[in-house]
Chain A
Amino acid sequence: MFYKVLNGVKVIEYGNMISAPFCAKMLADIGAEVIKVEKPAIGDDSRWREPFLKDIPGTERSGLFQYLNMNKLGITLNPETATGKKIFIELLKNADIFVENNSPNSMKELELSYKFVKQINPRIVMTSITPFGQTGPYRNYKGCELVDTHMGVVGNISTREGDTSKEPIKYPAHLFSFQAGLSAAAGTLGAFYRQRVTGLGTQLDVSEQESVIQNLNAATARYSYGKQIVSRTDVLSVAPSHILPCKDGYIYNALAEEHQWWRFVDVMGHPDWADNELFKDATSRAQYWDALKPLLLEWTMPRTVEEIYRTSQEKGIPIGAVRTADQVLGDKQMVARGFFVAVEHPENGRLQYPGVPYRFSGINKEPPQAAPLLGQHNEDIYCGRMGYSKRDLDRLKEARII
């Protein structure tokens, strides 16, 4: 955990890959006890996703898995078996929150859909994260990062000034699966608050498609008022709002307001061309961007990212440094705030990981614990808490229940 906020709160996670594991991670980060239930032998699929430590794949070597599952306890269990199911129900009886991201059909087959779960534990908050939600004609459609973002429009309009001859392009990594997990965690805490106040349980039905849709404020407004359909090939209506190359990388030159542009002109030493009628305001600069861009490059190309970033920001100009991974890790602002944290792992040693973006003022920040090895807490949970003997544990293993 990072902060002991949800002291004594019990969470069961039956998740795979990103959305549900990230939602549960967020609850673990603020002190909830999360028991992650994984498939015996194989575990969560994210154990088998890049990046791997030293490029060597292995159950415990994925940076993605390690990040997503820090601060959790881990057990293996197959709820498709009768005994496995019985154990699962025992776990749910004592839980406050249940987080999962399986298809509505498979949860129904396992008799672990909300209809069953609320009979086991009426006050539980069950957070179900699926590509298209629990209701509606596509509820059992298969999704993934790529497909969900297109069904939520962002895939279609992910860039500006895009090339019509090329296919639309996705945002990097699993950004929107993470955003769905983040949104689900926020919603879960709302439902949990009501549980505390009124004792009511609920199913929070989170749709990844809808999580993507929350990014559409401009597209929705334009359609709403002007029937305009935003496209990835749209040219920006104000300039500069562009990424520009410089000596050793790129800057994000976002200067939407007039005063920002003119301050930037001063930073450039007020070249003569700046007073050209064609560049008189943001709209005109957008219109004549092809003429303006080379003039700006003349100034940016001999200069470094850091130089342009710092001199501009010191004058209150919102230019951004396009940071690569090494620069993000070394960013003095993030370092000063202690964003990256070292995690000690029994097999991987001590490695830096992204931490959490929030700071609680009145609660001490604590160092996080490494993600569980596959089945690491089987003995603690099954023997220590549920009363199975060590011999039972062996038999459960042999029967491939755990």
Chain B
Amino acid sequence: MDDPFLKGIRVIALTWVWAGPWMGAVLADMGAEVIKIETNQRLDHQRITRILDVPGQGSDQKPDINRGLFNVTNRGVKSCTINLKQPEGVEIFKKLVKISDIVITNLSPRVMPGWGLDYAALKEIKPDIILVTLPAFGSTGPDKDYVSYASTIEAAGGLSASFGYPGEEPVLSGTYPGDPIGSMYGVFSVLAALNYRDMTGNGQYVDVAQSEGVASLIPEVTMEYVMNDRIRPRLGNHDEIMAPHSCYPCKGEDKWVAIAVSDNKEWKAFCKVMGDPAWSKDEKFSDQFSRWQNQDELNKLIAAWTKDFTNYELMHKLQKVGVSAGASLNIEEVINDPHVKDRGVFVEENHPIAGKTIVYRSPWTSALTATLSPAPCLGEHNEYVFKNLLGMSDKDIRQLVDKKVIY
């Protein structure tokens, strides 16, 4: 009964690095067939970027034995190799477009038009095609060709300037959320257009600017300026109203628990767990306003208590009495966490070449595809695409391989 959401939908993906591939992976989770077009001419550098010094990993290795970010970001999709710098490659691409519903890309805005594959051209091949482009700054405007990484997209959207400890310089982004934010806006746009096609019969071109995506998720930053002519300062862990609201040290090296207390009821429950220490009765901490005013002092007192417990102990103790608290998990802890395991967030799969690979699914459950297949090896699905889908003969395929069109 639980068919995946996008059964029978085919997506062509000209994607690389993170924002584009994650978009493809999420669509694959929903049951779409996502075919990633790659080429030896210019590899997705997540296939070749060295992420750690372990055997069998790195740019000195053949790309298809790489063990890196690529395998986490591209799970669930298929790979075929077409060299689009060759006119015959473009012709094959067009044949694929004809039998597909959606084309997604996060290549620079000038690349697809350069191959003669802009929306107008795609539309001529398939009138109701959906094209979604995901450039850093958008495909229009004076800076459309500016180059960027997730870090600089975050900078453009106003995130980096607001990120730091109070009164200090901005800090470096640790996980680069700018990219997966773009991915989800991409998925949203694809599916908006797909529903639109279903309602009207019309295709659509949607252009998503990643930098605007970042800015759209931190409206507090721009609205503070619009409403009060003020630049929001870097606030560290401070909340506008909650206190305590920070991370506190726990037993073990660099272990922390996050605690957020929102009202007097929670504060009383929190104090009770601490054993109602004398300082907690101090007038300085008597209501939300005074706790907020004196939070630096408050945080020190709490830290002196938390350090004798583990992060998990404190989380469970506080959650039991209705206080929002969470262990500051690292990657190993989250993968082994009983709740996360129960929900099947991470899946360990056996990649044919890279071996044991841990991947994670989209952030929801409901009609996901039954199993997440591993990220493809380079050109792993060439035969399926060229023979089964496009009906090409072995001889034609061999010739195209020799001419480095299938490459």
A binds B: yes
**CB-defined A-B contacts under 8 Å, sample of 25:** A30-B192, A49-B240, A51-B232, A63-B220, A135-B365, A138-B319, A150-B256, A153-B331, A155-B326, A160-B173, A171-B159, A179-B180, A186-B184, A192-B195, A230-B330, A230-B331, A250-B161, A320-B156, A322-B160, A325-B221, A328-B158, A332-B142, A333-B144, A339-B209, A358-B207
Interface size class of B (residues with CB under 8 A): 35 or more
Bound Cα distance from A158 to B172, whole angstroms:
8
- CB of B154 to closest CB in A, whole Å: 8
Bound Cα distance from A234 to B247, whole angstroms:
19
Closest A-chain residue to B245, C-beta based?
A146
Bound Cα distance from A204 to B364, whole angstroms:
6
Chain B window 168-200, contacts with chain A (Cβ cutoff 8 Å), 1 for yes, 0 for no: 011111111100110011011101111110110
For residue B219, CB closer than 8 A to chain A, the reply is yes
Bound Cα distance from A146 to B257, whole angstroms:
10
Cβ contact within 8 Å between A361 and B119: yes
The 9 closest A-B pairs by CB, nearest first: A320-B152, A63-B223, A357-B212, A189-B191, A210-B363, A320-B155, A147-B326, A190-B5, A325-B225
Cβ contact within 8 Å between B174 and A154: yes
- CB of A186 to closest CB in B, whole Å: 4
Given the interface pairs A220-B360, A243-B160, A360-B206, the reply to whether A228 lies near B174 with Cβ below 8 Å is no
By CB atoms of chain B within 10 A, which of A196, A197, A352 has the most?
Answer: A197
Cβ contact within 8 Å between B358 and A144: no
Chain A window 178-215, contacts with chain B (Cβ cutoff 8 Å), 1 for yes, 0 for no: 11101111110111111011101011111111110111
Residues of A within 8 A of B373 (CB): none
Chain B window 134-174, contacts with chain A (Cβ cutoff 8 Å), 1 for yes, 0 for no: 00011011111011110111111111111111000111111
For residue B236, CB closer than 8 A to chain A, the reply is yes
Cβ contact within 8 Å between A178 and B362: no
Cβ contact within 8 Å between A182 and B142: no
Residues of B within 8 A of A356 (CB): 212, 216
Cβ contact within 8 Å between A150 and B326: yes
Cβ contact within 8 Å between A362 and B140: no
- CB of A24 to closest CB in B, whole Å: 13
Closest A-chain residue to B189, C-beta based?
A358
For residue A90, CB closer than 8 A to chain B, the reply is no
Chain A window 135-171, contacts with chain B (Cβ cutoff 8 Å), 1 for yes, 0 for no: 1111001111011111111111111111010111111
For residue A324, CB closer than 8 A to chain B, the reply is yes
Residues of B within 8 A of A325 (CB): 158, 161-162, 221-222, 224-225, 231-232
Residues of A within 8 A of B354 (CB): 225
Flag the segment in B80-88, B339-347, B378-386 that touches A. Answer: B339-347
Closest A-chain residue to B249, C-beta based?
A167
Bound Cα distance from A194 to B52, whole angstroms:
41
Cβ contact within 8 Å between B52 and A228: yes
For residue B211, CB closer than 8 A to chain A, the reply is yes
For residue B407, CB closer than 8 A to chain A, the reply is no
Residues of A within 8 A of B288 (CB): none
Residues of A within 8 A of B342 (CB): 135-137
Cβ contact within 8 Å between A362 and B192: no
Given the interface pairs A154-B174, A187-B364, A324-B161, the reply to whether A146 lies near B215 with Cβ below 8 Å is no
Bound Cα distance from A206 to B345, whole angstroms:
12
For residue A82, CB closer than 8 A to chain B, the reply is no
By CB atoms of chain B within 10 A, which of A132, A225, A226, A331 has the most?
Answer: A225
Cβ contact within 8 Å between B329 and A169: no
Closest B-chain residue to A325, C-beta based?
B225
Cβ contact within 8 Å between B215 and A354: yes
Cβ contact within 8 Å between B367 and A175: no
Residues of A within 8 A of B323 (CB): 142
Residues of A within 8 A of B11 (CB): none
For residue A95, CB closer than 8 A to chain B, the reply is no
Cβ contact within 8 Å between A336 and B231: no
Cβ contact within 8 Å between B328 and A187: no
Bound Cα distance from A144 to B259, whole angstroms:
10
Residues of A within 8 A of B171 (CB): 158-159, 162, 169, 243
For residue B377, CB closer than 8 A to chain A, the reply is no
Residues of B within 8 A of A334 (CB): 141, 209, 211-212, 215
Bound Cα distance from A40 to B38, whole angstroms:
55
Bound Cα distance from A323 to B178, whole angstroms:
14
Given the interface pairs A147-B260, A333-B143, the reply to whether A159 lies near B172 with Cβ below 8 Å is yes
Given the interface pairs A321-B155, A329-B225, A354-B219, the reply to whether A144 lies near B191 with Cβ below 8 Å is no
Bound Cα distance from A158 to B228, whole angstroms:
29
Bound Cα distance from A333 to B365, whole angstroms:
38
Bound Cα distance from A167 to B345, whole angstroms:
27
Cβ contact within 8 Å between A186 and B360: no
By CB atoms of chain B within 10 A, which of A30, A194, A221 has the most?
Answer: A221
Cβ contact within 8 Å between A170 and B195: no
Given the interface pairs A5-B196, A323-B157, A333-B142, the reply to whether A198 lies near B3 with Cβ below 8 Å is yes
Bound Cα distance from A323 to B207, whole angstroms:
23
Cβ contact within 8 Å between B172 and A243: yes
Bound Cα distance from A92 to B262, whole angstroms:
31
Bound Cα distance from A362 to B123, whole angstroms:
12
Chain B window 337-357, contacts with chain A (Cβ cutoff 8 Å), 1 for yes, 0 for no: 011101101100000001011
For residue A110, CB closer than 8 A to chain B, the reply is no
Residues of B within 8 A of A390 (CB): none
- CB of B131 to closest CB in A, whole Å: 9
Given the interface pairs A146-B239, A167-B256, the reply to whether A210 lies near B345 with Cβ below 8 Å is yes
Cβ contact within 8 Å between A363 and B199: no
Bound Cα distance from A224 to B375, whole angstroms:
14
Bound Cα distance from A316 to B110, whole angstroms:
13
Cβ contact within 8 Å between B184 and A193: no
Residues of A within 8 A of B205 (CB): 360-362
Flag the segment in A52-60, A295-303, A380-388 that touches B. Answer: A52-60
For residue A317, CB closer than 8 A to chain B, the reply is yes
Cβ contact within 8 Å between B225 and A156: no
Residues of B within 8 A of A336 (CB): 140-142
Bound Cα distance from A329 to B221, whole angstroms:
10
Residues of B within 8 A of A221 (CB): 51, 67-69, 71-72
Residues of A within 8 A of B357 (CB): 224-225
Residues of A within 8 A of B184 (CB): 179, 182-183, 186
For residue B292, CB closer than 8 A to chain A, the reply is no
By CB atoms of chain A within 10 A, which of B191, B249, B327 has the most?
Answer: B191
- CB of B248 to closest CB in A, whole Å: 7
Residues of B within 8 A of A251 (CB): 155
By CB atoms of chain B within 10 A, which of A149, A156, A215, A241 has the most?
Answer: A156
For residue A124, CB closer than 8 A to chain B, the reply is no
- CB of A259 to closest CB in B, whole Å: 12
- CB of A97 to closest CB in B, whole Å: 11
Residues of B within 8 A of A280 (CB): none
Q: Which of A162, A197, A223 contacts B358 (CB 8 A)?
A: A223
Which A residues, 248 to 272, have Cβ-Cβ distances below 8 Å to chain B?
Answer: 249-252, 254, 256
Given the interface pairs A216-B360, A220-B359, the reply to whether A63 lies near B219 with Cβ below 8 Å is yes
Given the interface pairs A153-B334, A161-B172, A357-B185, the reply to whether A142 lies near B236 with Cβ below 8 Å is no
Residues of A within 8 A of B310 (CB): none
Residues of B within 8 A of A229 (CB): 330-332
